[in-house]
Chain A
Amino acid sequence: MNVDDKFLLDVKNLRVDLPTERGLLHAVRGIDFQVRRGEMLCLVGESGCGKSMTSLALMGLLPRKAQRSADHIRFDGIDLLGLPEREMNALRGARMAMVFQEPMTSLNPSYTLGDQLCEALQAHRPSTSAQARERAVYLLERAGVPQAADRLRQYPHQLSGGLRQRVMIAMALMCGPDLIIADEPTTALDVTIQAQILRLIRELQREFGTAVVFITHDLGVVARIADRVAVMYAGEIVETAPVAELFARPSHPYTRGLLSCIPVRGKTLPGSRLQAIPGVVPSLIGPVSGCAFANRCGEAREACAQTPPQVELNSQHLVRCVAARPSHMYSEAA
């Protein structure tokens, strides 16, 4: 076992730039993160913060005109950066799989579920149709799809949104991947179905020991499902911490702002003014200097015009802010 085996996924200084009519859009601006085997990492942030671009960059599925660069993107010791397309194809779907937000559009409407599920396996593993069907039925059952065997003959339009997402999850698991990237997998679903799908993802992740990068904008979901959280703002990861630590000691002003602007039952007085974060997210077109949150931050100071340092509050809790202090210097009042 070599040192790299500590992390299944190790991303260093990932950047994604998109050319637009008005200039280069810096969608992801140099982010570092790691995912351990079997770990659930939540990437949380608002629209346009770069979380989806990050997931597409990892899977090598960025739009053609997008430019990806990084020091390295190591997946199980393999650097994905220089990997030939043929080898990337062999990994994608087999060892790293993806679940998208829209189960409507990510299933092919003109093939049966059985065809699509079996193809996911047979494209990567030598197996007979019977073996593929057996695995498909097994995984559909594990994903909570009733009458799994009969479903193989059905087409996507015959299923509800919740069922389609269960099928997508079963499909992602067909080859027994080490890593699943789930991009807002429950955002299009109703809340009661969302809870069921989240439970399913959590259960299967534990059962199969799959690492998951879970992308969401919903802090309620993050709180309930994550092992570790990375908060993204304007193309950067501004704070990383284990989930309990992040919610107990949010240390970036943006994280604190996000947490205090959601009304929480039993904590926020109904009808009281909510603490909104003033202003809007800055444009990421053209050069961005200093802290991107400074123009909305109540604690902004002169030093924020410089690139903020990465402060290590403890070995697990990193914050990109000049105002952050290591936790032993934090008073309870903070």
Chain B
Amino acid sequence: MKQDYALELCALSRTFTLKRGLFSKPGEIKAVDNVSLRVAKGETLGLVGESGCGKSTLAKMLLGLLAPTSGNVLLHGQEIDPRQRRARARQIQPIFQDPYSSLNPRRTVADIVGVPLRIHQVGSRVEQQRLVRETLDLVGMPERTHQQYPNQLSGGQRQRVAIARALVLRPDILVCDEPTSALDVSVQAQILNLLMDLKAKFGLTYFFISHDLGVVEHLVDRVAVMHRGAIVELGTREQIFARPEHPYTRALLASALSPEPGLGIPEVHTPEGIAA
């Protein structure tokens, strides 16, 4: 039986050109280099790697915010015309890292969450209001906060609003780009629990980008390890965490510091060596 893939990345690449100087040849950076990945419906795929490895560039291409240099992205087996941003937005939505900069400070919570409905002209005004209330309720934002502005909310509440905005069109794929990295650990747990609840409720597919291996291991089914624009290792959670093959994956796992005293600070040799 043919498996239903929610998301397929086929040989996706993105190159940026760098101007070096007036007379020198422009350089090229392969931010994403020939990445092919398939995410099954209802699966959570974790993408791990360090800053500058191309994770966020990849996420932007999934969302249609950045055109690939080559390769393409399929949603449910269908290529999306890059001009049809709206059709794509109904199926795939982002949650970004920083809930401080990703919410419009001049709009109320209910307004922010309602924007996608207005853009996509979903239902009547009354229906839109009902959907907004329902969605905010779903992410645990009490009624009294709906007319507040982002600066009146805590970091965790802001991220709940960002999740509500992503969910209000009821997409089936969420691209979560470091969704808890800007939050305190006590709040991080609340948001991770919420993401797990929402997945169970709506059968969501998550493309989960994080540098925190503890969080990744907790949440995902499969892991893709990205290094310098390429996927260097792909496997189930079990495989990656128990039997990592690639030296870079091993270095990443070795440098994750679990809160267990007495283990000391690991000696890590990155492929780049000490100058990295």
Contact = CB atoms under 8 A, between A and B. Distances in A.
- Of the listed residues A191, A246, A275, A278, the one surrounded by the most CB atoms of chain B closer than 10 A to its CB is A191
Contacts of B232: none
Nearest to A266: B258
Contact of A224 (B186, B219, B261): B261
- Of the listed residues B190, B211, B218, B237, the one surrounded by the most CB atoms of chain A closer than 10 A to its CB is B218
B108 interface: no
Given A224-B257, A224-B265, A247-B261, 11 more contacts: A46-B184, A144-B274, A160-B276, A193-B270, A202-B265, A258-B186, A262-B214, A263-B218, A265-B213, A271-B218, A280-B154
Contact of A274 (B184, B193, B252, B256): B193
B188 A261 contact: yes
Nearest to A163: B275
A269 B161 CA distance: 28
Contacts of B263: 223-224
Contacts of A199: 265, 267
A257 B186 contact: yes
Given A46-B184, A217-B185, A271-B219, A195 B257 contact: yes
Nearest to B241: A265
A219 B186 CA distance: 12
B193 A276 contact: yes
A109 to B, nearest CB: 19
B266 interface: yes
A59 interface: no
Given A223-B261, A280-B154, A190 B193 contact: no
Interface in A210-229: 217-226
A270 to B, nearest CB: 5
Interface in B138-168: 154-157
Interface in A154-212: 160, 162-163, 190-196, 198-199, 202
Given A160-B276, A224-B263, A274 B218 contact: yes
Contacts of B260: 223, 247, 264
Given A191-B255, A223-B258, A198 B192 contact: no
Contact of B189 (A191, A196, A264, A275): A275
Interface in B212-255: 213-215, 217-219, 237, 241, 251-252, 254-255
Contact of B257 (A220, A268, A271, A273): A220
B259 interface: yes
B259 A264 contact: yes
Contacts of B276: 160, 162, 192-193
A16 interface: no
A264 B214 contact: yes
A276 B184 CA distance: 11
Nearest to B270: A192
A224 B252 CA distance: 16
A117 interface: no
B48 to A, nearest CB: 10
B21 interface: no
Contacts of A273: 193, 196
A224 B193 CA distance: 27
Nearest to A47: B184
A262 B259 contact: yes
A80 interface: no
Interface in B190-206: 190, 192-193, 196
Interface in A234-283: 243-244, 246-247, 257-259, 261-265, 268, 270-278, 280-281
A247 B257 CA distance: 14
B189 A195 contact: no
A23 interface: no
A263 B184 CA distance: 14
Contact of B50 (A46, A192, A219, A258): A192
Contact of A192 (B252, B259, B265): B252
B65 interface: no
A182 to B, nearest CB: 14
A146 interface: yes
Contacts of A146: 274-275
B252 A191 contact: yes
26 contacts: A47-B155, A191-B213, A191-B257, A192-B50, A192-B251, A192-B252, A192-B276, A195-B267, A220-B258, A222-B259, A223-B263, A243-B261, A246-B261, A261-B186, A262-B189, A265-B213, A265-B241, A265-B256, A270-B217, A270-B218, A273-B196, A274-B192, A275-B189, A276-B193, A277-B189, A280-B154
Contacts of A275: 189
B237 A221 contact: no
